[in-house]
Amino acid sequence: MRPVHEKAMPVILTEPEEWKAWLAGGEDSLKLQHPLDNDRLAIVGDPFY
């Protein structure tokens, strides 16, 4: 994200409760912005090639 915004962090929401909290906004939604656990994320290849 650094080329777009040096302080940006993508938010990956994996549970319906997280989706609802994010869309509701407010202070609680900001708590969802944290690194995803390594065991929850996998690189599977480039979808554009």
Residues 1-49: tens digit of each pLDDT:
556 677 777 788 989 999 999 999 988 888 898 888 888 888 888 877 7
Per the structure block, which two tokens stand in for 28?
A: 């609680």
Structure pTM? 0.59
- With a CB cutoff of 8 Å and minimum separation 6, the contacts of 31 are none
Q: Tell me if 22 sits within 8 A of 29, measured CB to CB.
A: yes
- With a CB cutoff of 8 Å and minimum separation 6, the contacts of 13 are 19, 22, 32
* Polymer length of the chain: 49
Distance CA 14, CA 32 (A): 11
